[in-house]
Amino acid sequence: MSILNSKTLPKTVEIYDTTLRDGAQLEGISLTVDDKLRIAEQLDNLGVHYIEGGWPGANPKDVEFFERAQKELPLKQSRLVAFGSTRRVNGNAESDPTLTNLVSAGTSTVCIVGKSWDYHVTEALRTSLDEGVAMVADSIKFLKDQGLEVFFDAEHFFDGYKANPEFALRVLEGASDAGADCLVLCDTNGGSLPFQIEETVSEVVSQLGTPIGVHLHNDTGCGVANAMAGVMAGATQVQGTINGYGERVGNCDLVPIIANLSLKLGVKTLPDECMEKLTSVAHHVAELVNFSSDPQQPYVGSGAFAHKAGLHVSAISRRPDAYEHIDPNLVGNGTRFLVSEMSGKSTIELRAQQLGLDIGGETLNEVVETLKDLEYRGYHFEAADASLELLLRASTGWEQDFFQLQSFSVNVGHLSGSGSRAWNDVAVEVDTEANVSIDVDGEIVEASGKGNGPVNALDAALREALETRYPALGKLRLTDFKVRVLETSKGTGAITRVLLDTTNGEQTWTTIGVSENIIEASWQALVDSIVYGLMNTEE
Listed in sequence order, the residues at least 6 apart from 442 whose beta carbon sits closer than 8 Å to its beta carbon are none
The whole-number pLDDT of residue 233 equals: 96
CA distance 117 to 202: 19
- Topology classification of domain 358-401+472-539: Double Stranded RNA Binding Domain (3.30.160)
Residues 44, 78: contact at Cβ < 8 Å?
A: yes
Closest CA to 160 of 194, 122, 202, 111: 122
Q: What is the DSSP string of 305-360?
A: TEE-SHHHHHHHHH-GGGS-SS-GGGGT---EE--STT--HHHHHHHHHHTT----
Closest CA to 171 of 198, 144, 200, 140: 140
Q: What is the DSSP string of 405-460?
A: EEEEEEEEEEEE--S-HHHH----EEEEEEEEEEEETTEEEEEEEEESSHHHHHHH
Cα-to-chain-centroid distance, residue 425 = 38
Closest CA to 297 of 312, 316, 281, 308: 281
CA distance 498 to 527: 12
CA distance 502 to 489: 31
SS3 letters for 354-377?
Answer: HCCCCCCHHHHHHHHHHHHHHHHC
Residues 344, 313: contact at Cβ < 8 Å?
A: yes
CA distance 30 to 141: 35
Residues 52, 246: contact at Cβ < 8 Å?
A: no
CA distance 317 to 343: 14
Provide the terminal-to-terminal Cα distance of the chain, rounded to the nearest Å. Answer: 62
Report the length, in residues, of the chain.
539
The whole-number pLDDT of residue 106 equals: 93
Residues 393, 355: contact at Cβ < 8 Å?
A: yes
Strands 182-187, 306-307: pairing is: unpaired
Q: What is the DSSP string of 96-163?
A: -HHHHHHHHT--SEEEEEEE-SHHHHHHTS-S-HHHHHHHHHHHHHHHHHTT-EEEEEEETHHHHHHH
Helices 385-395 and 518-536: crossing angle in degrees, nearest 10, is 80
Query: What phi and psi, each to the nearest 5 degrees, are found at residue 501?
Result: -105, 135
The whole-number pLDDT of residue 420 equals: 53
- Topology classification of domain 14-288: TIM Barrel (3.20.20)
The whole-number pLDDT of residue 6 equals: 54
Strands 508-515, 496-503: pairing is: antiparallel
CA distance 499 to 508: 13
Find the angle CA(84)-CA(87)-CA(92) to the nearest 5 degrees: 145
Strand partners, 481: 500
The helix (run of H) or strand (run of E) holding residue 68 is helix 60-72
Strand, helix or coil at 495? coil
The helix (run of H) or strand (run of E) holding residue 53 is strand 50-54
**Parts of the chain belonging to CATH 3.30.160.340:** 358-401+472-539
**Parts of the chain belonging to CATH 3.20.20.70:** 14-288
Helices 361-376 and 345-354: crossing angle in degrees, nearest 10, is 100
Strands 404-416, 429-440: pairing is: antiparallel
Mean pLDDT, the chain cut into blocks of 10 residues (539 residues total): 59 97 93 92 95 93 93 93 96 94 95 96 93 96 97 97 96 97 97 96 96 97 97 97 96 98 96 91 85 87 73 58 83 72 64 81 85 81 81 90 91 66 58 90 92 88 91 87 72 76 83 90 92 84
